[in-house]
């Protein structure tokens, strides 16, 4: 069992003693697209709506990264690590819903379609490995099984400056932001400005209700005015990405009453939770988030993990049941994303029902999305138990590829059927 150990006493690895240190983070977009310019404030309501569309997508972008690590854990092992990652995933879903409620209240429906933001076309649904054109500091988002590299990337994502000591050291993408915190600061400033959005612009339309969200700490805020819109954005920042640097000097386990679950689990910041995984120790109650955890041991066994290896779409796995399973996972993930966005936009979904005269029935897509999440987990676990034919020491890794067009979806379906046929 490979853990953080030294002479029988577990200690953080040397390279883990630096909070959120980015390992090998490089700018992959080219010097012409990244500068040291100061990020621009949001200039009008149209730009604010576009930013909120991208905020929903930004919260979505981290979920597959965390889920890949979670689903790679072998049954009955790493229970503390699994609980930590699962709790963060549930809150990222809450953050998606919060951003969607703000957007809905301003009269715009959440959408998977590309967004025009400051002259750039940006898709809110990422393709992995993913380098955000909106926030440069988080670096590349890669899908990996639970590993030291994966946990390092989690800490980098959630750190206020993404591992840097000074945000000025992070180059600003053209039309974007160096850090997630700066992005949400710009959204908050726009929401506070009566010149950008009037009181009458907040309609309270199509809200995902608090009673419809469950599974994590924190309450889903229904946005009906400027005050509740700001409260929703502040909830995203306080729990997760965008954590203010000042919080690093406060107690790591700072929680509010609503951040405590019934069985005693306390949902302190994502950064602090992942920092505990990274170092193999819990924070003491007296420690600040900027310190190295020095409390009780948190055992992480990186050998009790499926050896999944990510392969891009149209990569080395080109046929047979393995390729078909990857395509079928992508189709299931595509349906799930569609259902989530439908639920956030207040729309209904037409589903097959032979008892209805039309053969169709309208249903709330949110319960369908919940069922889809469980089905997706089963598919992911099955993939991660399946050896790669060309590399038997590794197993398949879900791609979380969103097929944006009907042509892309048809190609995935047709190719999966052909691959299944090859194995008969």
Q: What CATH number has the domain bearing residue 238?
A: 1.20.1260.10
Task: Examine residue 64 and state whether it is found in any structural domain, yes or no.
Answer: yes
- Which of 279, 295, 327 terminates a domain? The answer is 279
Do 341 and 97 contact (CB within 8 A), yes or no? Answer: no
| Per-residue model confidence (pLDDT) at position 256 | 54
Strands 349-352 and 140-141: unpaired
Distance (Å, whole) CA 139 – CA 34: 13
Among 148, 130, 146, smallest CA distance to 138 is for 130
Among 31, 300, 39, smallest CA distance to 168 is for 39
Task: Note whether 146 and 184 are same-domain residues.
Answer: yes
For residue 72, give both structure tokens.
């790679």
Task: Examine residue 222 and state whether it is found in any structural domain, yes or no.
Answer: yes
* Residue 137 phi, psi dihedral angles, 5° rounding: -65, -30
Task: Examine residue 71 and state whether it is found in any structural domain, yes or no.
Answer: yes
Task: Note whether 81 and 198 are same-domain residues.
Answer: yes
Task: Examine residue 1 and state whether it is found in any structural domain, yes or no.
Answer: no
Task: Note whether 86 and 24 are same-domain residues.
Answer: yes
Task: Examine residue 32 and state whether it is found in any structural domain, yes or no.
Answer: yes
| Per-residue model confidence (pLDDT) at position 390 | 87
- Which of 229, 261, 279 terminates a domain? The answer is 279
Angle in degrees, CA 351, 356, 360, rounded to 5: 25
Task: Note whether 316 and 275 are same-domain residues.
Answer: no
Task: Note whether 91 and 220 are same-domain residues.
Answer: yes
Task: Note whether 344 and 418 are same-domain residues.
Answer: yes
DSSP code per residue over 198-214: -GGG----SPPPGGG--
Q: How many domains does the chain have?
A: 2
Q: Which residues of the chain are modeled with pLDDT < 70?
A: 1-37, 213-218, 241-242, 255-266, 315-318, 348-366, 422-424
Q: Provide the b/e sequence for 381-404 (b: ≥16 CB within 10 Å).
A: bebbeeebeeeeebbbbbbbbbbb
Give SS3 for 115.
strand
Task: Note whether 268 and 319 are same-domain residues.
Answer: no
Residue 317 CB neighbours (<10 A)? 22
Task: Examine residue 403 and state whether it is found in any structural domain, yes or no.
Answer: yes
Strands 308-309 and 391-396: parallel
Task: Note whether 79 and 36 are same-domain residues.
Answer: yes
Q: Is 131 exposed, middle or buried (0-12, 13-18, 19+ CB in 10 A)?
A: middle
Distance (Å, whole) CA 332 – CA 326: 10
Distances (CA, A) of 301 to 279, 293, 305, 398, 402: 13, 18, 8, 22, 31
For residue 359, give both structure tokens.
């053969």
Task: Examine residue 99 and state whether it is found in any structural domain, yes or no.
Answer: yes
Give SS3 for 228.
helix
| Per-residue model confidence (pLDDT) at position 8 | 30
For residue 21, give both structure tokens.
């240190």
Distance (Å, whole) CA 129 – CA 374: 24
Task: Note whether 59 and 146 are same-domain residues.
Answer: yes
Give SS3 for 35.
strand
Domain that holds residue 352: 308-422
Give SS3 for 110.
coil
Rounded to 10 degrees, what is the CA torsion of 154, 160, 163, 165? -170
Task: Note whether 209 and 65 are same-domain residues.
Answer: yes
Distance (Å, whole) CA 154 – CA 248: 16
Task: Note whether 269 and 228 are same-domain residues.
Answer: yes
Residue 305 CB neighbours (<10 A)? 22
Distance (Å, whole) CA 162 – CA 171: 12
| Per-residue model confidence (pLDDT) at position 312 | 86
Task: Examine residue 395 and state whether it is found in any structural domain, yes or no.
Answer: yes
| Per-residue model confidence (pLDDT) at position 141 | 97
Task: Note whether 176 and 221 are same-domain residues.
Answer: yes
- H helices, E strands: number in the chain: 9, 11
Residue 18 CB neighbours (<10 A)? 13
């Amino acid at each position: 069992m490979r853990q953080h150990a030294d002479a029988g006493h577990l200690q953080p690895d040397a390279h883990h003693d630096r909070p959120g240190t980015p390992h090998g983070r490089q700018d992959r977009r080219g010097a012409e697209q990244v500068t040291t310019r100061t990020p621009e404030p949001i200039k009008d309501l149209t730009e604010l709506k576009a930013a909120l569309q991208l905020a929903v997508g930004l919260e979505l972008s981290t979920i597959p990264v965390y889920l890949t690590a979670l689903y790679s854990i072998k049954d009955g092992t790493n229970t503390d690590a699994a609980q930590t990652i699962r709790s963060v995933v549930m809150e990222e879903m809450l953050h998606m819903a919060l951003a969607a409620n703000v957007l809905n209240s301003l009269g715009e429906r959440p959408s998977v379609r590309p967004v025009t933001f400051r002259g750039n076309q940006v898709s809110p649904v990422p393709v992995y490995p993913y380098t955000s054109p909106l926030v440069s500091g988080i670096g590349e988002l890669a899908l990996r099984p639970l590993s030291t590299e994966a946990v390092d990337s989690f800490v980098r994502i959630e750190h206020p400056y993404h591992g840097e000591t000074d945000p000025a050291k992070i180059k600003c993408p053209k039309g974007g932001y160096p850090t997630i915190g700066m992005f949400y600061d710009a959204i908050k400033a726009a929401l506070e400005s009566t010149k950008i959005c009037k009181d009458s612009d907040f309609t309270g339309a199509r809200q995902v209700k608090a009673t419809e969200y469950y599974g994590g700490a924190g309450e889903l805020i229904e946005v009906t005015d400027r005050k509740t819109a700001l409260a929703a954005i502040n909830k995203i920042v306080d729990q997760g990405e965008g954590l203010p640097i000042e919080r690093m000097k406060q107690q790591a386990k700072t929680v509010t009453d609503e951040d405590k679950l019934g069985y005693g689990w306390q949902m302190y910041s994502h950064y602090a939770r992942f920092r505990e995984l990274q170092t193999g120790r819990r924070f003491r109650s007296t420690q600040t988030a900027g310190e190295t955890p020095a409390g009780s041991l948190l055992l992480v066994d990186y050998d009790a993990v499926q050896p999944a290896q990510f392969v891009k779409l149209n990569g080395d796995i080109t046929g047979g049941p393995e390729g078909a399973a990857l395509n079928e996972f992508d189709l299931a993930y595509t349906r799930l994303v569609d259902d989530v966005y439908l639920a956030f936009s207040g729309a209904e979904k037409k589903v097959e029902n032979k008892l209805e005269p039309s053969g169709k029935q309208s249903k709330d897509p949110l319960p369908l999305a919940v069922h889809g999440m469980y089905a997706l987990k089963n598919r992911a676990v099955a993939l991660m138990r399946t050896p790669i034919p060309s590399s038997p020491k590794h197993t398949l890794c879900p791609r979380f590829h969103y097929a944006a067009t009907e042509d892309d979806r048809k190609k995935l379906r047709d190719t999966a059927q052909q691959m299944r046929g090859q194995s008969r």
